[in-house]
Structure 1
Amino acid sequence: MLTLLIYMLVILSQALAGPCNPNKADVILVYCYPKTIITRIPECPYGWEVNQLALGGICYNGIHDSGYYQFTIPDLSPKNKSYCGTQSEFKNPIYHFYNSIVSNDTSIIVKSQPVNYSFACTYNANYLVNQAAFDQRVATVHVKNGSSGSFESQLSLNFYSNAKFSILKEAPFVVETSEIGSDIFAGVEAKGLSDRFKVVLNNCWATPSSEYFYQIQWPLITKGCATDSSILVHENGKTSRATFQFNAFRFRNIPKLSKVWLHCETHVCDSEKFSCPV
């Protein structure tokens, strides 16, 4: 009997609560992450409850969180290619993802002003990664940010111990004189991105300086292709990792203990829109 009374009191309190207090702040907060987009609008916009607002006019997946209504696009590449009406386009070199949160009440009459919160995230497709490869007896990441979102923290230039690229090798490492000509295995990997994005190496080169534009340099990969027969490109544009190998070397007239730096211009390719392998 007590349980029934408590239940009736809850129902009565909900009935007396009435609509939320209208908020007329035209604000939308957008967070562009490498794989996810989160949007937040102040609660009760123009009197609309969270269950009356739809992402893309399709998905009523908003939640009430600390004074805001929050909507999430959890993956930029779901199996149906378009999560809740999310659209995308590529305008070189920028990827654009956009959607909207709209009022979509199914009642016979509408008592609140309709709302439409449009939002977009943009991501740069081209990046420069570099890493101190080895000491000459013979990777730290630098990335150009996109305007709103970035794949920056997801990209890394790594070195490996074998041709299977299964064991990471700490860099910089020492190449003894006797090891000049031995194989060095390297790759650029993206972690945490949507499966639709593939890593493409456009150009890779080595310098005796951390400056990628240093005048002394040895090209390894140019326009996606190895520059000579001693360089082997294993994968490029097929997965979230592009890998290659080359022979250890030293620059002439450079102090023996100076470092060799490896630089790669990397493109994050949308495989749903383009043929990524080069």
Structure 2
Amino acid sequence: MASFSALLLMLPVVLACSPQKADYVVVSCFPNTIIANVPECPYGWELEQLSLGGVCYTGIHSPGYYRFIIPDLTPKNHSYCGTQSEYMPGKDPKYIFYNSIVSNDTSLTVRNQPVNYTFSCMYRAAYLVNNAVFSQRVATVYVNNGSLGTFRSQLSMNVFTNSKFLYAKDAPYTIDTSEIGSEVFIGIEAKGLSNRFKVVINNCWATPTPYPTDRKRWSLIINSCPADNTVTVFDNAKDSHSTFKFNSFRFQRLEKVSTVWLHCEVQICDGERLVCEPSPCSSRSLREVDLSGGILTAEFQIKASQGSSNKGQVPGKCISTLSLLYYSQLLKGFENIKRLHLVH
């Protein structure tokens, strides 16, 4: 019996996951969502042993990472899973949101080094009576890569003049009524990160309201593939910028709706750790899947140019000219800023 026990002691311990060094963290501060990615199995901790704010065991296992999401930063839900917020008044008021990803083992003994990722996102923002409004087309991505240092990137969505994507257009961007159906060129770019990080467009769609979850929607890109032949994806997940075009349009039977919102779900992918480029569209279904990235939004406002008329309406009446402008509150130069502190 003694020899059998000794044999058991000599057998290698089978770990549920392969421990990873835990000094690599990517936190994305999207307009109304914070996404934190940590290496899978940090110091041997399983996903179900890590919690957001010490409260919510809501992590998602994505390839190479454990992902934790704070889905709502509005005041009514600012305490989601222990999230804390601080309002900093002044000429340039800001909001700071704090939370942490911590390990928790209820067993009698703890054999893994505890981890505590404390992170924060700071937003320059205008504050309305019932809502905090952040820049909808800009996000900040922050990478802490241990001894290699920390990196901050601005992720933004812009409209460009043509398919060369050299010059971004200023808001407002106006198209005459007769030009509905013309091409609109969209570029999403991350500035400030090394070439190993790729911008990935997962999904893009349009709604007649500013809410990405509106059931009235028209899909443009599904699962990184064009939804129809009016959409062309030029580059995606190859480097720090991704580009596509679509034909401008308006929603039918919604004559009183003068705005169209474009929403794109995007993410930053580490090309040295993962395969970022999607497989060819011919081998994949256009079935819509759950969102895993953050959402950037641009606003298209429908107006009529002077001198145009339709169905006997007075020339200049708001009819169906398409123009791009961002939220009026956002034209004050909002820019997401982010700060991350890693403690373990």
- What TM-score results when the alignment is normalised by the length of structure 1? 0.48
Structure of higher RCO (CA pairs closer than 8 Å, 6+ residues apart): 2
